[in-house]
Amino acid sequence: MYPRTASLLVLLVLAFCPPHRAAAQTHIQSVAIVDVPQATPQQIAAPSPSGQADLWNTPPTLTLIPHSPQAHPGKIWLATTDEGLHIWGQVQADDHGAQSPQDNAATLSGSHVEVWLSGSPAVPMPAIGWGNQFGPKNLASPADCAQSAGAIRTDPAPAKVVASCQSWYTQQLLYRQDLSRLFVRQWAFAPDHRAVRTSSFTPARPFEAFASTAWASLSASLSPHDLPTPLQPRSDDGFLAETAGAPQPGYSFHIFIPYSAFPPVRQLRLADLYLDVDVFSAAPAGRKLGGFSSTASARLPGQPATFNHLRLSAPRTFSFSPCDYALAPDAVSADRPSGWFFPTAPGAALRSTIGFVNPSGGYMNDPVGVSPETTQAAFFWRQLASGASACGPRLAWSNGSEIKRSNFSVDEKYFSAQSLPDGWSLLRSGPSIHTHGQFGSGMCGACQTANFDIYAVSPQGEIATALHLDQDLSGEGRSPEAADLAIAPDWSRIVFYREFDQPDPTWTSITYCLHGHTYELCGESKLTEPPQPANFKELRAFD
């Protein structure tokens, strides 16, 4: 802890209760949105609860509302810094209510504090369903299975097919309950009986009990392929809970929730949070929980819409990569809810967004897997010799003060850069393998096609195509069935190899040479030998 001076006390009081806001704070429970002030790290630092005397004497941000006769009254103060959310509390309780629990179950049954946090009042999801090459099949109820399940037909599906679909529908309802819990956090800790007799904060032993339990349930019931892995609750490194005595009988506590421990959120300019602080008394004999007080008058466990709606006076701004991508709707359908992301520590750019999409596939006539599946879109970048950054998946350029965007899509696997003597840069994407059709259905829908691109980027960030290769590898007609590439170390020369099976297996090659900032055809061979071993095995799967 740091020494605290009188000037810091004054600054902290002003942060929590500026003159023009003091009167409003006394009625904070009567308004729908609770304003949370910003404080500096210096204002946050305090050696002990007694050193926060001026804080305790300011109007609280929230009060603890008794929900039972045995509930402990108290007050809550909130503030944010660039690093996260701070919560202070004073609880009026008999000294015997404090404890030193040995495990999580003992913590929840004894006198303890719970903090609920979410970035959204609800988690919108697409309708339960699936899709195939003929479009989506959405179910409003199990009764819809009679027309949606099974192969395309005009008559009702067989009873066995309908029953299987209805069973799957019921399973999705249970799955969605656990899935939505991954967007909420519930931390709990108990005041230590040794701490409440001292004037110094003592670290408590907090644990997360809501999202982690849901993840354990999903892990036990789903295959690894169906698990919403991008939403797996992260470590709560940096989460801090500490308790001490209070000016009146009872205890005080301080909680720090770093942004890196937050659940997923949806706002790149994070201004709205949903928070509930509960204080429980010890459970009577035969009961799992004791009476409690809550900062939310209509609080329901795990339901963020019933929590206190916070509005940060200094919103935290996040960005996807140095090229500052927007938080776009999920792929496939523009009416899907916007993507989610895990907040990062200050100064760290976001690298991925999380969304929902229903399972789909060619000839998927009956439902399989989970609805919705969890998807993840990755953002990536490379620093150029000039100090600027080139970003994907939608190719963009940023020098910190200016951003240039393009309509080109790039693949992360081989995304790299090469500097040219005149200050220009070359960016490489691929080779990448795709199928002809989205679902692999139809004539040659599962046949492969290969893409390889090099883009030229000027010192001012203008982006143009330097080389584009798009090759069908179906082996049908005049198309090759395999390919490979040889790339010179300085990218000045690209050799594209192709294998044709008709009339006899034959490899040919086309050579492209860099002239200025574009590639031109500079050689061709009707009979050659491919690289051995293969440079890109994915292009020679049928070799």
Q: Is 44 helix (H, G, I), strand (E, B) or coil?
A: helix
Provide the residue type at 366 as one letter: D
Q: What is the pLDDT of residue 17?
A: 40
- pLDDT-derived band at 44, boundaries 50, 70, 90: confident
How far apart are the C-alpha atoms of 399 and 390, rounded to whole Å? 9
By CB atoms closer than 10 A (0-12, 13-18, 19+), residue 304 is buried
- Which of 346-350, 417-421, 523-527 comes out lowest in average pLDDT? 346-350
Sign, CA torsion 298/261/17/192: positive
For the stretch 117-141, pLDDT in tens is 999 999 999 999 998 888 889 999 9
Q: What letters, b where the CB count within 10 A reaches 16 and e where it falls short, cover 13-24?
A: bebbbeeeeeee
Q: What is the pLDDT of residue 289?
A: 83
- pLDDT-derived band at 106, boundaries 50, 70, 90: confident
Q: What is the pLDDT of residue 336?
A: 43
On whether the CB atoms of residues 406 and 394 are closer than 8 A, the answer is: yes
CA proximity to 455, closest of 496, 404, 511, 531? 404
Q: Is the pLDDT of residue 86 over 90?
A: yes
Q: Name the segment(s) of the chain with CATH classification 2.60.40.1190.
A: 6-123+183-317
Query: In the structure encoding, which two tokens stand for residue 210, read together?
Result: 């809501």
- pLDDT-derived band at 168, boundaries 50, 70, 90: very high
Q: What is the pLDDT of residue 49?
A: 60
For the stretch 393-434, pLDDT in tens is 999 999 999 999 999 999 999 999 999 999 999 999 999 988
Question: Which of 51 and 522 is assigned the larger pLDDT?
Answer: 522
pTM for this prediction: 0.84
Mean per-residue pLDDT for 5-29?
34
Distance from the first to the final alpha carbon of the chain: 67
Mean per-residue pLDDT for 462-489?
92
How far apart are the C-alpha atoms of 366 and 361, rounded to whole Å? 10
Give all strands (DSSP E) within 281-413, no chain letters: 292-294, 308-317, 352-357, 373-378, 380-383, 389-392, 394-398, 403-409
Which of 329-333, 372-376, 426-430 holds the top average pLDDT?
A: 426-430
- pLDDT-derived band at 443, boundaries 50, 70, 90: low
Reported CATH class of domain 6-123+183-317: mainly beta
Percent of the chain beyond pLDDT 90? Answer: 58
- Which of 100-104, 224-228, 261-265 comes out lowest in average pLDDT? 100-104
Q: What is the pLDDT of residue 20?
A: 36
Question: Which of 392 and 377 is assigned the larger pLDDT?
Answer: 392
Which of 10-14, 71-75, 167-171, 296-300 holds the top average pLDDT?
A: 167-171
How far apart are the C-alpha atoms of 90 and 93, rounded to whole Å? 10
Q: What is the pLDDT of residue 13?
A: 38
Q: What is the pLDDT of residue 50?
A: 59
Mean per-residue pLDDT for 308-317?
96
Give all strands (DSSP E) within 259-324, no chain letters: 269-280, 292-294, 308-317
Residues 6+ apart with CB under 8 A from 44: 12, 79, 81, 86
How far apart are the C-alpha atoms of 455 and 446, rounded to whole Å? 28
HSE of 154 in the Cβ direction (CA atoms, 13 Å)?
0
Question: Which of 286 and 183 is assigned the larger pLDDT?
Answer: 183
Q: Is the pLDDT of residue 361 over 90?
A: no
User: For the chain, what is the radius of gyration of the CA atoms?
Assistant: 30
Q: What is the pLDDT of residue 95?
A: 54
Q: What is the pLDDT of residue 5?
A: 28
Which of 12-26, 53-67, 268-282 holds the top average pLDDT?
A: 268-282
Look at the block and give the residue holding tokens 């523009």: 334
